[in-house]
Structure 1
Amino acid sequence: MKIVVIGGTGLIGGKVVGKLRERGHDAVPAAPSTGVNTLTGEGLADALAGAQVVVDVSNSPSFDAAAVLEFFTTSTRNLLTAEAAAGVAHHVALSIVGIEGLPENGYFQAKVAQEHLIKEGPVPYSIVRATQFFEFVKGIADTAADGDTVRIPPVLFQPMAAEDVAEAVAGAAAEPPGKGTVEVAGPDVFRFDELVGKALRAWNDPRTVVADRHARYFGSELRERSLVPDEGRAHLAGLRFDDWLRRSA
């Protein structure tokens, strides 16, 4: 199959392209650097010609709430319109576990809007909701830092490797649509503050992690299970955080 991967040059997209090619598919990365712009529609028709599946793992260049909402809604509308015109049979999108539960998080609410457009759109779809990535832990610590102190809420956290996220997305793309929304998560549940502290120690980062129940996560105060799937609902990935951490350190 010809499978076009929107955002196919990024962290997840590049891995999805590789995994699809390993399965024998004609996986084509599409991004502004390849002449495809989902915000303006530039290059979409040519890129989608002959495609059976489109995978959307693109990301907003801005995290401002209004800009994120504009990116995901405009891009998704343009994609679905172009897919319908090209006869694409399956739209696969990457989303995030728990997005409905954090209304103060502008990024999460933009993903809610994106999912709604996909579900109401003209193309059969699969949505893969993933927990946070191991690769984001350093950025989360930087965002939560106040000098040498990193304030993290002591809630449950079940991250997974980008490699496993890509495997889940590629698997969904290689199968027929019809499964609706699936969730994937890491194999182990941690306390958020303890995991960040472990990572910083492994990286010889001198900052101190403090458990702060009211510390905000990208604008939202978290409940105990805000960032983890319901028990028994998610497919669990294989790579454990400690193994990934040893490699990264």
Structure 2
Amino acid sequence: MKFAVIGGTGLIGSKVVEALTTAGHEAVPHARSTGVDLRTGEGLARALAGADVVIDATQSPTADAAAADFFRAATGNLLATAEEAAVRHAVLLSIVGVDRAPGLGYYRAKVVQEELFKTGAVPYSIVRATQFFEYIEEIMSWTTEGDIVRLPTTLLQPMATADAARSVAGIAAGPALHGIQDVAGPDVLSLAELGRITVASRGDGRTVLRDDTAGPFAVAPEGALTVSEGAHISPTHYRDWLAV
């Protein structure tokens, strides 16, 4: 099968390409650096020509209210071009909890993007992943002052991007779900605890303090960013990933 991976040069997209290639498929990465611009539609027809499946692993360039406008334009262009190219399956990488955390502007924008996939003409699958291990230190940086990191007790169920990529690749290679599949890591931990584990592993000298007002994830309702029954649970534990 031939796959067009939009956002295929990024952190998760590149791993999706790798997983598909390892499985014996033809997976072609596309991004602005390869001449594909979702906002304008430039290069999309060429990118999707002959593709059986398109995977959207892109991110908005901003995390504020403008993200919804980006997704309306970008997703509209992508799905219209996919329909014209007779693509048989469109797969969207989304985020667990987008419909349960209205206080997070980027999550509201992802809901807009998901609705476009659901109402489009191309058979679709939506893969919602939890936060990636690779982003934990970035999240910590948002609320770090000097050697103090303030983090809330908001529960996360993070996962390795490599595990998420394999899930996306597996779903993309199968029939369209016409629905949503959640994927997550094996452990539910508070963001404050994740911070303490990270600091201890890195030995960087910072102190993590609990602050249930710190950072954007503090506004997420209890349990909104974790999964329930029916989710696919990946094998990699955060402590093991840090130790590699």
Q: Once the two structures are superposed, what CA deviation does each residue of 1:150-169 show, in whole Å capped at 9, x if it has no partner?
A: 11111322100000010111
- 1:49 is aligned to 49
- 2:162 is aligned to 163
CA RMSD in angstroms comes to 1.3
Mapping of residues 140-219 of structure 1, within 5 Å? 140-217=139-216
Task: Classify 1:223/1:103 alpha carbon distance in 2 versus 1 (closer, same or farther; 3 Å).
Answer: closer
Return the alpha-carbon distance in structure 2 between the equivalents of residues 64 and 153 of structure 1: 21
- 1:240 is aligned to 237
Q: Secondary structure at the match of 1:135?
A: helix
Would the aligned equivalents of 2:104 and 2:219 in 1 still touch at CA under 8 Å?
no
TM-score with structure 2 setting the length: 0.96
Q: Once the two structures are superposed, what CA deviation does each residue of 1:50-74 show, in whole Å capped at 9, x if it has no partner?
A: 11100000112222321x1122221
- 2:30 is aligned to 30
Return the alpha-carbon distance in structure 1 between the equivalents of residues 199 and 221 of structure 2: 24
TM-score with structure 1 setting the length: 0.94
Q: Letter of the aligned partner of 1:222 in structure 2?
A: A
- 1:19 is aligned to 19
- 1:87 is aligned to 86
Return the alpha-carbon distance in structure 1 between the equivalents of residues 153 and 192 of structure 2: 5
Shift of 1:179: 5.0
Would the aligned equivalents of 2:101 and 2:221 in 1 still touch at CA under 8 Å?
no
Q: Letter of the aligned partner of 1:236 in structure 2?
A: I
Return the alpha-carbon distance in structure 2 between the equivalents of residues 41 and 174 of structure 1: 25
Q: Letter of the aligned partner of 2:73 in structure 1?
A: T
Q: Which runs of 5+ in 1 are unaligned?
A: none
Moved more, 142-151 or 13-22: 142-151
Shift of 1:200: 1.4
Aligned length: 244
Would the aligned equivalents of 2:118 and 2:178 in 1 still touch at CA under 8 Å?
no
The runs of at least 4 consecutive aligned structure 1 residues that moved more than 6 Å come to: none
Is it true that 1:99 corresponds to 2:75 in the alignment? no
Q: Once the two structures are superposed, what CA deviation does each residue of 1:82-130 show, in whole Å capped at 9, x if it has no partner?
A: 0000000100010001111221211101100000010001100000001
Q: Which runs of 5+ in 2 are unaligned?
A: none
Shift of 1:233: 3.0
Would the aligned equivalents of 2:54 and 2:90 in 1 still touch at CA under 8 Å?
yes
Task: Classify 1:63/1:178 alpha carbon distance in 2 versus 1 (closer, same or farther; 3 Å).
Answer: closer
- 1:4 is aligned to 4
